[in-house]
Homo-oligomer: A and B are copies of this chain.
Amino acid sequence: MDEIKVLSPATVANVVCGFDCLGFALEKPYDEMTVRRIDERIVRIINRDDFGLPTDPAKNVAGVALTAMLAKAGADFGVEVEITKHIKPGSGIGSSAASSGGAVVAANRLLGDRFSKLELVEFAMEGEKLASGSRHADNVAPCIFGGFTLVRSTYPLDIVSLDFPLLFVTVIHPQIEIKTAEARAILPKEVPLKTAIRQWGNLGSLVAGLAQGDYGLISRSIEDFIVEPVRKSLIPGLDNVKFASLAAGSLGGGISGSGPSMFMLSETREIAEAVELAMLQVYSKTQIEFNTYVSEINPNGVRFFVS
């Protein structure tokens, strides 16, 4: 096989009480990527969208991930990657992770699936390092593994796939820019032990609620005492969006990644669509442009596309 096409999904990281470790994959939006074997031992990037991302493989997240992977494999060939992004860069739903994650999953197929998913995450993390300056797996882990993932440890990398029940996600993406540096800078360096305990009690309970399919427990556990209180100043209307979404029947939610997108979880598609309507009503009163998405949790991550 000399050409592989994949659909690489958006992801939500920093899932409320699971800041810096818990994430999940969405069914949509997703990027379309075709990775093709070429004789030249190079990585060539072709962008088929209007985002104007770099085509120099050393400056492109998919490029650096693929370069690391081909080097590790000692491949005697190169790859050409055509990327049609639908996930807007800077949206907070894992745009860079979709690029690097999709690229390595596709190229791995060209290499006869020689690398494990965990190894693919390691390669894709090179892309995250380029995009954000930190080698984190919060988005690439759910992008590649699918479902809900917990990054237990980064060094050494340890990724836990969680059991979870049927869940629907409503995402709203306000078209504003959040500077990652600012979102990082306002985080506290230290937190009260008592607050940390409440947070880890919630995360443990959320994992249990997901495993047991206990929607009530999931709902009670989705509360972030540490990050949301400081970051919400960066996200216009967060409180109103949450309030209206909960009133529409959502289980709960919060900031996606470091924003500006927000997400809410619901038990049924009907509720998730009612939540979308509620978000729409809140945001149509602002001057800010926005997109919304309703999606199931994507259980498989990057998907091979057979045309």
Q: Min CB distance, A186 to chain B, in Å?
A: 12
Report Cα–Cα, A61/B22, bound state, in Å.
Answer: 40
Q: Which residues of B contact A200 (CB under 8 A)?
A: 17-18, 21, 196, 199-200, 203-204
- Tell me which of A20, A190, A201 has the highest count of chain B C-beta atoms within 10 A of its own C-beta: A201
Q: Min CB distance, A158 to chain B, in Å?
A: 6
Q: Which residues of B contact A207 (CB under 8 A)?
A: 204, 207-208, 211
Nearest to A227 among chain B residues (CB) is: B193
Instruction: Mark A residues whose CB is within 8 Å of B.
Output: 17-22, 150-153, 158, 160, 162-163, 187-193, 196-209, 211-212, 217, 220-221, 226
Report Cα–Cα, A101/B170, bound state, in Å.
Answer: 44
Report Cα–Cα, A41/B190, bound state, in Å.
Answer: 52
Q: Which residues of B contact A153 (CB under 8 A)?
A: 198, 201, 220
Q: Min CB distance, A271 to chain B, in Å?
A: 23
Whether A188 pairs with B199 at a CB distance below 8 angstroms is no
Report Cα–Cα, A206/B17, bound state, in Å.
Answer: 16
Whether B18 pairs with A204 at a CB distance below 8 angstroms is yes
Whether B197 pairs with A187 at a CB distance below 8 angstroms is no
Whether A192 pairs with B190 at a CB distance below 8 angstroms is yes
Whether B198 pairs with A191 at a CB distance below 8 angstroms is no
Whether A162 pairs with B208 at a CB distance below 8 angstroms is yes
